[in-house]
A and B are shown apart, each in its own frame.
Chain A
Amino acid sequence: MMTLLTIVLCAGILISALLATYLERRVAAVISAGLVGLFASVTYVILSAPDVAMTEAAIGSGITTVVFLFALSKTKEQPDE
Chain B
Amino acid sequence: MAESIFNLAMIIIMIAIGLGVYRLVKGPTVVDRVIALDLLTLISIALIVMIAHLTSRYIYIDVALVYGLLSFLSVLAVARYLERGL
Chain A interfacial positions (CB closer than 8 Å to B): 1-2, 4-5, 8-9, 12, 15-16, 19, 25, 27-28, 30-32, 34-35, 38-39, 41-42, 45-46, 48, 50, 53-54, 57-58, 61-62, 65-66, 69-70, 72-73, 80-81
Q: Which residues of B contact A50 (CB under 8 A)?
A: 57, 59-60, 62-63
Interface bracket on B: 35 or more
Q: Which residues of A contact B77 (CB under 8 A)?
A: 65-66, 69-70
The SS class assigned to the B binding surface is helix
Q: Which residues of B contact A (CB under 8 A)?
A: 7, 10, 13-14, 17-18, 21, 24-25, 29-30, 33-34, 37, 40-41, 44, 47-48, 51, 54-55, 57, 59-60, 62-63, 66-67, 70-71, 73-74, 77-78, 81-82, 85-86
